[in-house]
Amino acid sequence: MAEQKELDFEAGLKRLERIVAALEQGNASLRESMALFEEGAALVRRCNEQLDRAEQQVLRLQKGPDGAPVELPFDGAEQ
């Protein structure tokens, strides 16, 4: 299984695409397929964690008391 700790989001997605393609071909043995599946599941978790962290960093712009835009931390709730 490839080391995933150092993969950025885009590299993780590319690796997931290669894993899916390999599994869809159906040429891998059961053992290889299971290893690919496990690697893919770990990559999905890692990519989701990266997305969650990115979402927390997003800033929302809202009107302040004087009508000027004010940057507020993104909380995911619409106001």
Q: How far is CA 60 from CA 15, 26, 48, 50, 53, in A?
A: 32, 45, 21, 19, 15
Instruction: Indicate yes or no: pTM above 0.85.
Output: no
pLDDT surpassing 50 at residue 1: no
In a domain, 78, yes or no: no
Domain count, the chain: 1
pLDDT in tens, 29-45: 999 999 999 999 999 99
CA-wise closest residue to 44 among 6, 68, 9, 3: 9
Model confidence at 63: pLDDT above 90: no
Would you place residue 67 in the very low, low, confident or very high pLDDT band (cuts 50, 70, 90)? confident
Q: Which residues span the domain enclosing 24?
A: 9-73
Residue 4 lies in a domain: no
Helix H segments across the chain?
Answer: 9-25, 30-57
Between 8-12, 49-53, 54-58, the lowest mean confidence (pLDDT) is in: 54-58
